Structure 1
Amino acid sequence: MNSSSKRIALVTGANKGIGYETARQLGHEGCVVLLGSRDPARGEDAAARMSSEDIDARAVTLDVTDRATLETAARYIQETFGRLDILVNNAGIGAASDGPVSSADLMEVRRVFEANFFGALEVTQSMLSLLKNAPSARIVNVSSGLGSLVRNGDPEWEFAGVQMIGYNGAKAALNMATVLLAKELNEIGIKVNSVAPGFTATDLNGGGPGAQSAAEGARASVAAALLSDDGPTGRFLTQSAEEPW
């Protein structure tokens, strides 16, 4: 099967962690995977490791906070493939001085929003014409249970004490973008969903008791990326179920 007949998948933040495993698993499902990475060397290293597993993986320099890299990446995808079948908005950051509403460092809150919400929004807008060229495209926004209003409103939830207005707020905003974009694109068959990977050991959180592996955390993103045409859209999906927002 040549690359033009395979699904083309772009995963942001794909040189490590959940993003790497998402791209790797999509590659094993027969997709051409484009590894979005801020650092070209790390992206090339990740692509080489996947290539050793017979995955068609290609590094793409992409910083979600740098419009020039988004334009260059979109141009490369247009010239090479003419379309994009899958977009996984996975890239994200945290901040040590993020915290409760009353005391969080506002500069850091803005920085987290810039990457975790505005970055995903700009990537989506940059790639939308390519997604519309695909017969049945999928957009996956990697969110978190920390962005769920329902979970945060439950004092018995195990992570109810995590107070990070930057991270939690950006993920909640990303969930709203999912709902609105799903409505906007529903008539042309593009499915848009948020996914919550679950508590996963990553560089962002340092892992800890009960944390799953990055490979396990990637499963929700992969499932949403490969949804059938009768699958849901505008939903908040976890490893095993659809949840309320």
Structure 2
Amino acid sequence: MTEPRVALVTGGNRGIGLEVCHQLAEQGLRVILTARNPADGERAAEPLRRVGGLITVMPLDVSDEASASELNAQVRREFGRVDILVNNAAVLLHEGDDALTIPVAAYHESLETNFLGPLRLCQAFVPGMRDRGYGRVVNVSSGAGQLSGMGGYAPAYSASKAALNALTRLVAHAGGRRVLVNSADPGWVRTDMGGSSAPRSVEQGADTIVWLATLPDGGPTGGFFHDRRPIAW
């Protein structure tokens, strides 16, 4: 019997991340659901396990280098590899302020979580994907990170997501053709971050992410996608 692929999802205990875990588990993948608080992760994982999902919860604070290093060691001990990496964890700070009034510390915190966090995990797991000749990386970005249409919305968040999009291009180049690395814009989704007025469900928000996470060999890499279609950077 073939071993299932191993998928790691950051910020997997709620919102889009939890739905991504659900959809990947439904496809028979072994899912590592990471959360800053393991108790929150276990509560989120239990309903997925009850319907047969292969879910393992591991602690991770993507903004903490030591936490990312500990996760890497734990994954290697228990599974030996990650085949699919979904960089979903993010923060949204000072949403209503403009670029000139936001404290510099908010830019630091946004970049630490939304850009350096994914970078740490890519550096931990993409070299192994490249060596094995298979890998999928999905960076959960945002339309706010599109330079082509960027305005004044949430400057620290927008800047960090633009940086994440740049990381997508860089890691796609470094990973080679067998490791497919893409950014996804889930749209405005009804989550704790998106709020109750958002027009899209978590199922809709997760769809493109899961599609990119399970692309067949020869699929696109180094792209930015919304509703499974390429969009401008």
Shorter-normalised TM-score: what interval? over 0.9
Shift of 1:132: 3.4
CA-to-partner distance for each residue in 1:99-152, whole Å, 9 max, x for gaps?
Answer: 322222221121111111111111221223443354411010000011001122
Calculate the aligned-residue CA RMSD, in Å: 1.6
Shift of 1:68: 1.9
- Pick one of 175, 184, 199 that aligns with 2:188: 199
CA distance in 1, matches of 2:176, 2:24: 24
CA distance in 1, matches of 2:33, 2:77: 17
Q: Which one-letter code corresponds to 1:242 in the other structure?
A: P
- Pick one of 95, 99, 109 that aligns with 1:101: 99
**Worse-superposed segment, 196-205 or 89-98:** 89-98
Matches within 5 A, 1:30-41: 30-41=28-39
Alpha carbons of 1:90 and 1:73: their partners in 2 closer, same or farther (altered >3 Å)? Answer: same
CA distance in 2, matches of 1:202, 1:121: 24
Tell me, yes or no, if the aligned pair for 2:92 and 2:154 is still in contact at 8 Å: no
Q: Which runs of 4 or more aligned residues in structure 1 lie more than 3 Å from their structure 2 counterparts after TM superposition?
A: 132-135
Shift of 1:183: 1.2
- Pick one of 187, 212, 229 that aligns with 2:217: 229
The match for 1:211 is: 199
Tell me, yes or no, if the aligned pair for 1:142 and 1:197 is still in contact at 8 Å: yes
CA-to-partner distance for each residue in 1:61-103, whole Å, 9 max, x for gaps?
Answer: 0110112221221112212221111000000011136632222
The match for 1:156 is: none
Unaligned runs of 5+ in 1: 153-159
Tell me, yes or no, if the aligned pair for 1:137 and 1:191 is still in contact at 8 Å: yes
The match for 1:78 is: 76
Percentage identity across aligned positions? 36
Unaligned runs of 5+ in 2: none
Shift of 1:171: 0.3
Q: Which one-letter code corresponds to 1:72 in the other structure?
A: E
- Pick one of 171, 174, 188 that aligns with 2:164: 174
Tell me, yes or no, if the aligned pair for 1:82 and 1:130 is still in contact at 8 Å: no
Alpha carbons of 1:173 and 1:78: their partners in 2 closer, same or farther (altered >3 Å)? Answer: same
User: SS in structure 1 opposite 2:139?
Assistant: strand
TM-score normalized with structure 1 length? 0.90
The match for 2:64 is: 66
User: SS in structure 1 opposite 2:171?
Assistant: helix
What is the total number of aligned residue pairs between the two structures? 233
**Worse-superposed segment, 48-57 or 130-139:** 130-139
User: SS in structure 2 opposite 1:218?
Assistant: helix
Matches within 5 A, 1:115-194: 115-152=113-150, 160=151, 162-187=152-177, 189-194=178-183
CA distance in 2, matches of 1:78, 1:12: 16
CA-to-partner distance for each residue in 1:146-200, whole Å, 9 max, x for gaps?
Answer: 1001122xxxxxxx5x52210000000000010111111124x111000000110
CA distance in 1, matches of 2:32, 2:13: 10
TM-score normalized with structure 2 length? 0.94
Tell me, yes or no, if the aligned pair for 1:193 and 1:234 is still in contact at 8 Å: yes
User: SS in structure 2 opposite 1:193?
Assistant: strand
Q: Which one-letter code corresponds to 1:148 in the other structure?
A: Q
- Please say if 1:56 is aligned against 2:45: no
Tell me, yes or no, if the aligned pair for 2:94 and 2:102 is still in contact at 8 Å: no
The match for 1:157 is: none
